[in-house]
Amino acid sequence: MLEITFIPALADNYIWLLHDGDDAVIVDPGDANAVIWRLKAESFNLKAVLVTHHHPDHQAGLPTLLENYPAPVYGPASESITGCNRPLSGGESIELLGRSCQVLAIPGHTLGHLAYLVSGALFCGDTLFTGGCGRLFEGTPAQMVDSLAKLASLPDDTLIYCGHEYTEVNLRFSM
């Protein structure tokens, strides 16, 4: 059975941990020490790493993590991500923990930003948050609108796993 938990990191980042039994996948390892500690504490076997985009708070932990846990690293082909050995562009389907994972191109926050949809769970990095969306660092407003429309077209029961805890800030802004 697929279980999803988070590893808190940095000021407000979520590093997502997907696991089925002893096998695990990590999403956006901005802090290697937090991930390594959790993998050791739970005796997980790291099977893959997913990276949504190139910003350091989502991938800076890769070199240290990979020294300790060599694993395939999936990430945007068009972005510079140290250790990415499985470059993706969106539209692909990969296998994670015995399940199909759909890769979605969702530019806006960054030009190569990706999201990963596995077993009804969407890992969307910095594109969508509770009460808001990501800032435009490289993409255009039109790209962000298209990406958000793509995410809105997913089934209503899709669970959203974003890259930061911005809920309170976003809701205060909206009020």
* pLDDT computed for residue 128 by the predictor: 87
Q: Splitting the chain (175 residues) into consecutive groups of 10 residues, what average pLDDT does each group show?
A: 94 95 97 97 98 96 96 97 96 97 97 97 93 89 97 97 84 81
* pLDDT computed for residue 175 by the predictor: 81
Answer yes or no: 54 catalytic.
no
Active-site residue, selected from the candidate residues 19, 54, 55, 113: 55
State pTM to two decimals. 0.95
Answer yes or no: 109 catalytic.
yes
Active-site residue, selected from the candidate residues 57, 146, 156, 157: 57
Active-site residue, selected from the candidate residues 28, 31, 54, 109: 109
Cβ-Cβ contacts under 8 Å for 1 (sequence gap 6 or more): 20
In angstroms, the CA 2 to CA 98 distance is: 10
3-state secondary structure 8-29: EECCCEEEEEEEECCEEEEECC
Task: Name the residue type at position 22.
Answer: D
CA angle centred on 14, ends 87 and 123, rounded to 5°: 45
Answer yes or no: 57 catalytic.
yes
